[in-house]
């Protein structure tokens, strides 16, 4: 009888060890799956954040182009006070675009800096007209500068859209 109980005890010990090993392995698998799911969720969150920033950049770039077009019309109509107000909205928008360095290439960042300088120069001309009504300026010259900057912004916008599409299809 003692042999039976010894055998039963050995069997129980081996079975307990096997169940413990299976449970431990199962726990490791669950932990690994949880870690993998967590990493995927983190990557998805970062991708979503990048997509939102790019979307904001697309929106700001489009809005800047629209503001430049409005300013050009106001120049033609010699509505200097209204154009001055539009400049006050355009400059921060361009600076915001430039601050979003994750959305643009280095080349585009340099181009944005140049656009900001050109827009500031045009704004100074409008300020000068406001201060000195006798000061005459050819609105065509101002509009030519703004037109060039607007075309450049269109190129940046196109690059950003292309980059966004490529990332969408790769992701």
169 pLDDT tier (thresholds 50, 70, 90): low
pLDDT higher at 25 or 67: 67
Class of domain 52-170: mainly alpha
Angle between helices 106-131 and 2-76 (to 10 degrees): 30
Express each pLDDT in 37-46 by its tens digit: 888 888 888 8
Question: Is residue 150 scored above 70 in pLDDT?
Answer: yes
- The whole-angstrom separation of Cα 94 and Cα 157 is 13
**What is the model's pLDDT at position 5?**
65
What average pLDDT score do residues 160-164 get? 81
**Number of helices (H) and strands (E), helices first, in the chain?**
4, 0
């Amino acid at each position: 009888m003692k042999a039976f109980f010894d055998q039963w005890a050995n069997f129980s010990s081996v079975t307990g060890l096997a169940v413990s090993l299976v449970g431990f392995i199962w726990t490791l698998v669950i932990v690994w799956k949880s870690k993998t799911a967590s990493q995927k969720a983190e990557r998805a969150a970062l991708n979503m954040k990048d997509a939102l920033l790019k979307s904001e950049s697309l929106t700001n770039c489009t809005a800047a182009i629209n503001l430049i077009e409005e300013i050009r019309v106001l120049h033609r109509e010699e509505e200097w006070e209204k154009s001055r107000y539009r400049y006050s909205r355009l400059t921060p928008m361009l600076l915001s675009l430039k601050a979003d360095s994750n959305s643009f290439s280095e080349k585009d960042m340099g181009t944005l800096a140049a656009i900001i300088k050109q827009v500031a120069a045009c704004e100074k001309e409008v300020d000068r007209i406001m201060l000195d009504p006798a000061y005459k300026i050819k609105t065509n010259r101002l509009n030519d500068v703004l037109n060039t900057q607007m075309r450049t912004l269109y190129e940046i916008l196109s690059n950003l859209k292309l980059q966004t599409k490529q990332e969408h299809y790769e992701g």
